[in-house]
């Protein structure tokens, strides 16, 4: 009788669950703790303490927040871990020569074995999600806050994450012939794009002028775990009668990305099945089971080790006291990168050939090609062959530019100010050699300056520099720009509306010429509000207040600034456990007529300028003239 070849086997399907049920039991148990148990405890506490002030919307919003949080963060972590464990169990037959030979001899197609294992693994994960969903429905129903729609969204989130991570784990399983390599490959490929961008930016920041480690990640979508974790649920707030701001709901906007990843997961699963169908089963035990992928594995590992180990060796060797710059810095970095590439290249050879005798023959030719390519890339970066250092976007492409210098931050949107910012940026680039020659020097004042351009196409361009004075006068030009009206308003804008209900602390600190000490006068919320709205804001509009001095030598700083400042702390109360703070500080200047009159009328103070207080305190050591924004 002719045997029938099957594309699915029920025995294999149930065998996976029988053998590895602890994995699924652990997945279910942990999810029950993360969502329904934690949700029930939270709702019980908030109801007993009435933290929602009898507004049911606030209580519902808190429940939604927990559901979304567990769906996003918990979903990624739980799916990422347990889908890997399930794949290691389901496809463990691929890594043992005896088991793979036995299964291939059965009257079951390779596709049938794959489909039986894959469907069994994903099914029990999805069933566990449904059980957690039903228990959560019961918990919310018992407290009278059932929101079926949000719980269904949680179920959809976690199931789509399961589809992606399990499909991706199955794909990784098809590429390797060794069980211990699977989790390594799975983790590396999940974070490769993010890690490469991160270390590439760190590497570039060492020898490319203006490169910043804080640039935005353009390839984060190629690291699904990082991309999913970066999605957030947007809060919907409402201002209550008592002035407090409370969250009354949440909205999640990451469905498009989740849907794409779920579809990609199924595509990975299909690709895995096709690879296993034509895979040479004698590769069981090999690090890489697909022959054409072996050179790709070798050179990718070389490049990755060059990035990671090269950057690490550089920073360990030089630390924070780095005085190298220019060509010397580039050559030292090149040596560090080549050491990393050497480690990666020959480690890959050892893994592929299963021997440590790899330092001979043609392997050196391959490493030589790798080293040459890396040397060319670093040389191109040092001499700006790609135009990275000179890339300053045209004004027509710029939506706004944000500038940060010595702790002061501004955002400019007006055309004239954007053009001025571009001119200063261009001047800093032209002074590259002067600034780099003073790297690590303590003889001249150094300023960290960052330009962040928001472009009209939605992209960001960021550059960061250390500039020195008096080697160049760029800091003086930047000071003028940061003292323009738009910049002052940007620097002094508060995140929280200025209102007596939001002011929790305010005071005026000044130098008393009689006691020759600094005195602090507390202000009521009403006094702080009056001083801010009636005096400080109009004086800033007149340009007599809010200026800063990065450089004080040769200026009228000591004579035009009082040794007196006002500090105000704001708080926005969403609820007892959710607060937003903001801080405002302003130094009084001689020309700020309204603010000075208010001080005199309310407290009868006769203020000292910085010059006068210095003389009184006999401060002759010049410490008051360090270069930072003192009077902002």
Distances from the Cα of 442 to the Cαs of 305, 510, 621, in angstroms?
34, 32, 17
Report if residue 604 sits inside a domain: yes
Q: Looking at residue 626, what is its pLDDT?
A: 41
Does 29 lie in the same domain as 142? yes
- Calculate mean pLDDT across residues 226-238: 79
- Calculate mean pLDDT across residues 421-430: 95
Q: Looking at residue 481, what is its pLDDT?
A: 95
User: Which stretch of DSSP H or E encloses residue 449?
Assistant: strand 445-455
Contact present, 349 and 302 (Cβ < 8 Å):
no
Q: Which two tokens stand for residue 68?
A: 């979304």
Look up the domain containing 468 and give its range: 396-490
127-186 pLDDT, tens digit per residue, is 999 999 999 999 989 888 888 888 999 999 999 999 999 999 999 998 888 888 889 889
User: Domains in the chain: how many in total?
Assistant: 4
Q: Looking at residue 523, what is its pLDDT?
A: 94
Contact present, 574 and 247 (Cβ < 8 Å):
yes
Residue 628 has pLDDT above 80, yes or no: no
Separation between Cα atoms, residue 177 and residue 2, nearest integer Å: 33
Does 37 lie in the same domain as 112? yes
Nearest to 582 by CA among 519, 520, 493: 493
Does 409 lie in the same domain as 461? yes
Q: Looking at residue 623, what is its pLDDT?
A: 45
Is the pLDDT higher at 467 or at 44? 467
Does 527 lie in the same domain as 461? no
Nearest to 86 by CA among 18, 169, 9: 169
Separation between Cα atoms, residue 332 and residue 21, nearest integer Å: 54
User: Which stretch of DSSP H or E encloses residue 570?
Assistant: strand 561-575
Does 351 lie in the same domain as 275? no
Separation between Cα atoms, residue 395 and residue 415, nearest integer Å: 8
Report if residue 335 sits inside a domain: yes
Does 112 lie in the same domain as 91? yes
**Which of 149-153, 215-219, 482-486, 558-562 is the least confident region?**
215-219
Does 248 lie in the same domain as 336? no
Among 335, 352, 382, the domain boundary falls at 382
- Calculate mean pLDDT across residues 521-546: 93
Report if residue 403 sits inside a domain: yes
Does 413 lie in the same domain as 271? no
- Calculate mean pLDDT across residues 537-544: 92
What is the b/e burial string over 87-117, where b = at least 16 CB atoms within 10 angstroms of the residue's CB? bbbbbbbbbeeeebeebeeeebbbebbbbbb
Residue 630 has pLDDT above 50, yes or no: no
- Calculate mean pLDDT across residues 517-529: 93
Is the pLDDT higher at 135 or at 292? 135
Among 490, 520, 541, the domain boundary falls at 490
Report if residue 194 sits inside a domain: no
Phi, psi of 434 (to 5 degrees): -65, -40
Nearest to 132 by CA among 162, 100, 110, 104: 162
Does 144 lie in the same domain as 258? yes
Separation between Cα atoms, residue 109 and residue 404, nearest integer Å: 63
pLDDT-derived band at 107, boundaries 50, 70, 90: low
| % of the chain beyond a pLDDT of 70 | 87
CATH number at residue 474: 2.60.40
Q: Looking at residue 260, what is its pLDDT?
A: 94
Helix axes 75-90, 181-207, angle to 10 degrees: 130
Report if residue 188 sits inside a domain: no
Report if residue 346 sits inside a domain: yes
Q: Looking at residue 136, what is its pLDDT?
A: 94
Does 98 lie in the same domain as 27? yes
Q: Looking at residue 207, what is its pLDDT?
A: 83
Report if residue 205 sits inside a domain: no
For all residues of the chain together, what is the average pLDDT?
A: 85
408-417 pLDDT, tens digit per residue, is 999 999 999 9
Among 464, 490, 516, the domain boundary falls at 490
**Which of 12-21, 232-241, 339-348, 375-384 is the least confident region?**
232-241
Does 457 lie in the same domain as 512? no
331-366 pLDDT, tens digit per residue, is 999 999 999 999 999 999 998 888 888 888 788 888
Report if residue 216 sits inside a domain: no
Neighbours of 327 (CB within 10 A): 12
**Residue 10 CA neighbour count, 13 Å, CB half:** 0
pLDDT-derived band at 394, boundaries 50, 70, 90: very high
Cα-Cα-Cα-Cα torsion 165, 166, 169, 174, nearest 10 degrees, comes to -140
Does 431 lie in the same domain as 298? no
């Amino acid at each position: 009788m002719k045997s029938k070849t099957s594309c699915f086997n029920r025995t294999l399907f149930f065998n996976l669950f029988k053998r590895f049920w602890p994995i699924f039991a652990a997945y279910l148990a942990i999810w029950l703790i993360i969502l329904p148990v934690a949700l029930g405890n939270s709702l019980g506490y908030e109801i007993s303490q009435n933290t929602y002030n009898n507004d049911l919307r606030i209580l519902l919003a808190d429940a939604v927040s927990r559901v979304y949080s567990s769906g996003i963060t918990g979903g990624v972590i739980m799916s990422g871990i347990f889908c890997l464990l399930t794949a290691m169990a389901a496809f463990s037959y691929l890594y043992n020569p005896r088991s793979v030979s036995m299964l291939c001899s059965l009257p079951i197609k390779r596709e049938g074995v794959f489909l039986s294992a894959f469907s069994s693994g994903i099914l029990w994960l999805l069933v566990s999600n449904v059980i957690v969903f039903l228990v959560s429905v019961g918990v919310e129903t018992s407290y009278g806050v059932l929101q079926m729609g949000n719980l269904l969204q949680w179920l959809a989130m976690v199931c789509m994450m399961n589809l992606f991570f399990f499909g991706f784990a199955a794909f990784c399983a098809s590429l390797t012939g060794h069980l211990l390599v699977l989790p390594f490959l799975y983790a590396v490929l999940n974070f490769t794009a993010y890690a490469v961008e991160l270390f590439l930016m760190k590497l570039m920041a060492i020898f490319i002028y203006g490169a910043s480690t804080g640039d935005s990640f353009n390839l984060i979508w190629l690291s699904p775990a990082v991309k999913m974790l970066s999605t957030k649920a947007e809060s919907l707030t409402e201002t209550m009668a008592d002035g407090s701001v409370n969250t009354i709901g949440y909205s999640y906007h990451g469905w498009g990305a989740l849907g794409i990843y779920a579809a990609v997961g199924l595509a990975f699963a299909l690709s895995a099945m096709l690879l296993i169908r034509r895979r040479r089963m004698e590769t069981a035990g090999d690090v890489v089971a697909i022959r054409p992928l072996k050179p790709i594995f070798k050179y990718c590992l070389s490049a990755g080790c060059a990035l990671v180990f090269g950057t690490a060796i550089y920073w360990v060797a030089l630390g924070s006291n780095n005085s190298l710059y220019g060509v010397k810095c580039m050559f030292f970095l090149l040596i560090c990168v080549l050491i990393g590439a050497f480690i990666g290249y020959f480690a890959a050879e050892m893994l592929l050939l299963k021997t440590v005798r790899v330092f001979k023959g043609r392997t050196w030719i391959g490493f030589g090609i790798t080293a040459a390519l890396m040397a060319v890339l670093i040389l191109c970066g040092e001499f700006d062959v790609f135009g990275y250092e000179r890339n300053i976007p045209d004004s027509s492409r710029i939506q706004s530019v944000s500038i940060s210098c010595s702790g002061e931050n501004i955002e400019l949107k007006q055309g004239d100010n954007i053009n001025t910012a571009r001119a200063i940026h261009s001047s800093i680039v032209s002074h590259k050699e002067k600034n780099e020659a003073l790297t690590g020097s303590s003889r001249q004042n150094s300023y960290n300056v960052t330009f962040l351009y928001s472009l009209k196409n939605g992209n960001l361009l960021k550059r960061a520099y250390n500039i020195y004075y008096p080697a160049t006068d760029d800091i003086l030009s930047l000071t003028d720009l940061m003292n323009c009206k738009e910049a002052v308003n940007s620097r002094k804008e508060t995140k929280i509306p200025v209102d007596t209900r939001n002011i929790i602390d305010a005071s005026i600190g000044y130098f008393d010429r009689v006691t020759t000490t600094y005195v602090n006068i507390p202000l009521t919320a009403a006094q702080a509000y009056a001083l801010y709205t009636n005096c400080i804001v109009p004086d800033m509009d007149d340009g007599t207040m809010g200026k800063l001095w990065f450089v004080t030598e040769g200026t009228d700083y000591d004579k035009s600034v009082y040794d007196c400042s006002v500090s105000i702390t704001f708080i926005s109360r969403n609820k007892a456990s959710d607060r937003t703070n903001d801080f405002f500080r302003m130094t009084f200047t001689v020309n700020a007529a309204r603010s000075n009159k208010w001080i005199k009328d309310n407290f009868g103070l006769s203020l000292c300028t910085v010059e006068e207080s210095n003389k009184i305190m006999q401060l002759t050591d010049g410490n008051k003239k360090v270069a930072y924004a003192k009077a902002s």
